[in-house]
Amino acid sequence: MTALRIRFTECEHEGDLSEYARDVEEAGGTVTSRALEEDETATLEVEVEDRAAFVEAFRGTLAFDFSSLRHD
């Protein structure tokens, strides 16, 4: 397992964070922790089996464009 910390922008409320978490899980990640910040950002702690495969699958989600992985 590989642990990732993914930061998200444009996260105004828990509903946005839940959508980002759903996209992470649909791409093969397991959310282990989540935090919503006051500055419209959020962090998900995620575990993945294969980082490259996860990132490739996550790239096809709407959440990817708001994530820190977009800059990797």
pLDDT digits (tens, 9 = 90+) for 21-54: 999 999 999 999 999 998 999 999 999 999 999 9
The β-bridge partners of 67 are 8
Question: What does the domain layout of the chain look like in residue ranges?
Answer: 2-71
pTM exceeds 0.85, yes or no: yes
Average pLDDT score over residue span 6-25: 94
**Could you give the percent of the chain with pLDDT greater than 70?**
99
What CATH number has the domain spanning 2-71? 3.30.70
Give alpha helix (H) positions in the chain.
14-26, 51-58
Rounded to an integer, what distance in angstroms lies between the CA atom of residue 30 and that of residue 47? 5
Average pLDDT score over residue span 47-70: 96
Average pLDDT score over residue span 2-22: 94
